[in-house]
A and B are shown apart, each in its own frame.
Chain A
Amino acid sequence: MTYNDRIFGILMIVLAVAYGWGTTQFPESFGGTEAVGPETFPRLLAIVLGLSSLYMVVRPDPDNAWPWSRTGIELIIAVVVLVLYSMLLQPLGFIISTTLAVGTLCWRMGSRPVKAYVTGAISGVVVYLVFNFALDLALPLGVLSFLEVG
């Protein structure tokens, strides 16, 4: 069965309708109504997306398998790591958060844990030094800020 394209097509039709409805909610512009206002172009897009998505629903391509089970979990782990990395970059500082994020990713992609986190730490320190001293761009030090010189 071919579900992927159908489901995605339906979602896109919903998006097209919602987006199209959104264009009716724009505040009135000052100059009164023009031939082409802020809503014209978006409405065209909504129509195009709606029709092309409809085509996907009617004539779907064969499915690509989704990675359920273990690989799926690995993917979710990776996304969680990336979100946590974004979240912790400022409070923990660049070096520590990079060690954790790059290390975990390397480890989950098949490296041995020790080697993975050492790679993470080295890359973090090197990039930090390059950015701070060679390129003169400040990356956050976070909890390591006591190391800051001058």
Chain B
Amino acid sequence: METLGFLMDGFGVALQPHNLMFALIGAFLGTLIGALPGLGPANGVAILIPLAFTLGLAPETAMIMLTSVYAGAMYGGRISSILLNIPGDEPAMMTCLDGYPMAQQGKASEALAISAVASFIGSLVATIGLILLAPLLAKFALTFGPAEYFALFLLAFATLGGITGKNPMKTVVAAAIGLMIATVGIDSTGVQRFTFGVLELYEGVDFIIAIVGLFAISELLFFIEEKAGGGKEKMKVNKLTLKWKDIRDILPSSFRGGVLGFIAGVLPGAGASLGSFIGYTLEKKVIGKKGYFGKGDPRGVAGPEAGNNGASSGALVPMLTLGVPGSGTTAVLLALLISLNITPGPLMFTQNADIVWGVIAALLIGNFLLLILNIPMVGIFVKLLSVPPMFLLPIVTMIAFVGIYSISNTTFDLYFMVAFGVAGYIFRKLEIPLVPIILGLLLGPEMEKNLRHAMDISDGDWTILWNSGLAIGLWVFAGLGLILPYIVGPMLRSRMKAAPDSGGPESD
């Protein structure tokens, strides 16, 4: 029951007026970010990090705001899926299948309302799951030694591509590049590595600059290439005529979707996209012939929507307890934690309990805020959706510039960001995933530290890395994470492909 006490303390933090205000701002911005095509959640959170910094927000406030952004982005992704048949982010892909037909039948606002309720239930179920599971996992993680941590980091990289990933070798290439960039600078024993005598490199490469460059700038370049500047025609939104019965009908689907999504989110290598995919297929199986899936069945909107929101809360479990994120956006949240000088991992639950529990409580509160925001204010978001990308993306780019510039007031950082942007464009062209690069940048120092620790303990004996049962288990799973995509991947992908092609930005 001590969990309940911690949660109450968390509410104490999250309900402070200024934290509540930033949660509201975050939820609003997040929905916006999720709704706008060309601005995925990882991207959006990344751009907001430097701003949270320069505002000098307290750590818990910054975390609460950006977690709200994250939750909001998952809500927002559905808006463009339903109205434009373009997923705002990748996990919202499955929502298109029944959401867009509903909109075509003149039931757009019902689809939006149903998906908002389903998102709410999905998040709620998963947040409760998070509250129950996270402290247990954190306690368990306290038994990890440096060798186990080293293996755990490997596992994180190996499963990052997900079992639907295309070419796991490219994940390895990406991870190696990220880790290499992380070694630049002065190491823990004071030796300069790869600094080439450049003063700006002594402290290493700031991962915030890398993240914003890789995501935001490369997105701009991609839009220019696709000539998608004009935007798409938008669907009319009718007046809402939702009855209580309609909501009751989707409740079972939402609960099932939420639970499945949570599990998919916690497991390494699954992520929100898989969560919404499983949510949808399960609904199809359970309802069977009685449904009219693909032709605007509300349950086909509720299932995946609850699944994707459940998964996004579930994905916070490994990030908060182990310090190992399972998705792009949680990696960006981890970046925020590290730059706030908080060491993520099991110790955070004891050392920074106010932050962890404040964030969890903020998730619960944010959910209610989002539900309230999303039903009456959907009209505003729909209006903003019609801002064509040719105006939107340059402005987003400018905000990225302002954010990075305001960290250190130097032009050097801006050049660096542009360089990362161009590199990000090339990587994406070659289908080299960006998230392992970022994870490499983030985890590199910790990974090396744990390797050195393990070696110091064993006096240079490499076998310590696979000397305990736990470590062996992690190695096995890491291996599976690299091999399974070759076997399961093609199968799952072809089934997900049966759904419309997604042109959404990468990352979940």
Which A residues form the contact surface with B (CB < 8 A)?
4-5, 8, 12, 16, 19, 22-23, 26-27, 29, 31, 34-38, 40-42, 45-46, 48-49, 52-53, 55-56, 59, 61, 64, 66-67, 71, 74-75, 78-79, 82-83, 85-87, 89-90, 94, 98, 101-102, 105-106, 108-111, 119-120, 123-124, 127, 131, 135, 137, 139
| A89–B451 CB distance below 8 A | no
| A135–B189 CB distance below 8 A | no
Q: Determine the chain B residues whose CB is within 8 A of the CB of A64 once the complex forms.
A: 429-431
Binary flags per residue of B383-422, CB closer than 8 Å to A gives 1, else 0: 0000011110111011101100110000100110110011
Q: Determine the chain B residues whose CB is within 8 A of the CB of A55 once the complex forms.
A: 169
| B398–A127 CB distance below 8 A | yes
Shortest Cβ distance from residue A43 to the other chain B in the assembled complex, whole angstroms: 10
> Which of B1-9, B455-463, B497-505 is found at the contact surface with chain A?
B455-463
| B54–A135 CB distance below 8 A | yes
| A79–B455 CB distance below 8 A | no
| CB < 8 Å neighbour of B401 from A31, A41, A89, A119 | A89
A106 CA to B227 CA, complexed, in Å: 12
> Is B452 on the interface with A (CB-CB < 8 A)?
yes
> Is B167 on the interface with A (CB-CB < 8 A)?
yes
A101 CA to B421 CA, complexed, in Å: 16
Q: Determine the chain A residues whose CB is within 8 A of the CB of B456 once the complex forms.
A: 34-36
| B169–A26 CB distance below 8 A | no
| CB < 8 Å neighbour of A86 from B54, B167, B414, B422 | B414
- When A78-B220, A106-B391 are in contact, do A38 and B191 touch as well, CB less than 8 Å? yes
Q: Determine the chain B residues whose CB is within 8 A of the CB of A83 once the complex forms.
A: 415, 418
| CB < 8 Å neighbour of A111 from B55, B391, B447 | B391
Q: Determine the chain A residues whose CB is within 8 A of the CB of B217 once the complex forms.
A: 82
> Is B223 on the interface with A (CB-CB < 8 A)?
yes
A5 CA to B451 CA, complexed, in Å: 31
Q: Determine the chain A residues whose CB is within 8 A of the CB of B432 once the complex forms.
A: 8
Q: Determine the chain B residues whose CB is within 8 A of the CB of A109 once the complex forms.
A: 223-224, 229, 389-390, 393-394
Binary flags per residue of B447-475, CB closer than 8 Å to A gives 1, else 0: 11001100110011000000000000000
> Which of B119-127, B176-184, B359-367 is found at the contact surface with chain A?
B176-184
> Is B379 on the interface with A (CB-CB < 8 A)?
no
> Is B233 on the interface with A (CB-CB < 8 A)?
no
Binary flags per residue of B184-195, CB closer than 8 Å to A gives 1, else 0: 000101111110
> Is B490 on the interface with A (CB-CB < 8 A)?
no
| B167–A127 CB distance below 8 A | no
| B451–A67 CB distance below 8 A | no
A109 CA to B219 CA, complexed, in Å: 13
A5 CA to B194 CA, complexed, in Å: 26
Excluding A35-B460, A79-B221, 14 further A-B contacts by CB distance (< 8 Å) are: A4-B430, A8-B432, A22-B194, A37-B189, A38-B193, A41-B452, A49-B176, A52-B173, A52-B176, A78-B221, A102-B397, A106-B391, A124-B398, A139-B402
> Is B295 on the interface with A (CB-CB < 8 A)?
no
A46 CA to B220 CA, complexed, in Å: 32
> Which residues of chain B in 159-206 are interfacial with respect to chain A, using CB atoms and an 8 Å cutoff?
166-167, 169-170, 172-173, 176-177, 179-180, 183, 187, 189-194
Q: Determine the chain A residues whose CB is within 8 A of the CB of B402 once the complex forms.
A: 94, 127, 131, 139
| CB < 8 Å neighbour of B415 from A38, A86, A131, A137 | A86
Q: Determine the chain A residues whose CB is within 8 A of the CB of B179 once the complex forms.
A: 45
Q: Determine the chain B residues whose CB is within 8 A of the CB of A29 once the complex forms.
A: 189-191
Most buried by A among B187, B391, B406: B391
Q: Determine the chain A residues whose CB is within 8 A of the CB of B391 once the complex forms.
A: 106, 111, 119
| B224–A78 CB distance below 8 A | yes
> Is B12 on the interface with A (CB-CB < 8 A)?
no
A87 CA to B414 CA, complexed, in Å: 9
| A105–B411 CB distance below 8 A | no
Shortest Cβ distance from residue A14 to the other chain B in the assembled complex, whole angstroms: 13
Q: Determine the chain B residues whose CB is within 8 A of the CB of A40 once the complex forms.
A: 451-452, 455
A71 CA to B170 CA, complexed, in Å: 27
- When A56-B173, A111-B390, A111-B391 are in contact, do A105 and B220 touch as well, CB less than 8 Å? yes
| B191–A26 CB distance below 8 A | yes
Q: Determine the chain A residues whose CB is within 8 A of the CB of B189 once the complex forms.
A: 29, 31, 37-38
A42 CA to B448 CA, complexed, in Å: 9
Shortest Cβ distance from residue A100 to the other chain B in the assembled complex, whole angstroms: 11
| B398–A98 CB distance below 8 A | yes
- Chain B: CB-nearest residue to A86: B414
| A42–B398 CB distance below 8 A | no
Most buried by A among B55, B390, B393: B390
Binary flags per residue of B268-292, CB closer than 8 Å to A gives 1, else 0: 0000000000000000000000000
> Is B230 on the interface with A (CB-CB < 8 A)?
yes
| A12–B173 CB distance below 8 A | yes
| A36–B455 CB distance below 8 A | yes
Q: Determine the chain A residues whose CB is within 8 A of the CB of B431 once the complex forms.
A: 61, 64
Q: Determine the chain B residues whose CB is within 8 A of the CB of A59 once the complex forms.
A: 169
Shortest Cβ distance from residue B183 to the other chain A in the assembled complex, whole angstroms: 5
Q: Determine the chain A residues whose CB is within 8 A of the CB of B398 once the complex forms.
A: 98, 101-102, 123-124, 127
Shortest Cβ distance from residue A99 to the other chain B in the assembled complex, whole angstroms: 10
| B415–A85 CB distance below 8 A | no
- When A56-B170, A71-B225, A82-B421 are in contact, do A102 and B395 touch as well, CB less than 8 Å? yes
Q: Determine the chain B residues whose CB is within 8 A of the CB of A79 once the complex forms.
A: 221, 418, 421-422
A141 CA to B390 CA, complexed, in Å: 26
| A110–B229 CB distance below 8 A | yes
Q: Determine the chain B residues whose CB is within 8 A of the CB of A124 once the complex forms.
A: 398
A90 CA to B253 CA, complexed, in Å: 55
A123 CA to B391 CA, complexed, in Å: 10
> Which residues of chain B in 102-124 are interfacial with respect to chain A, using CB atoms and an 8 Å cutoff?
none
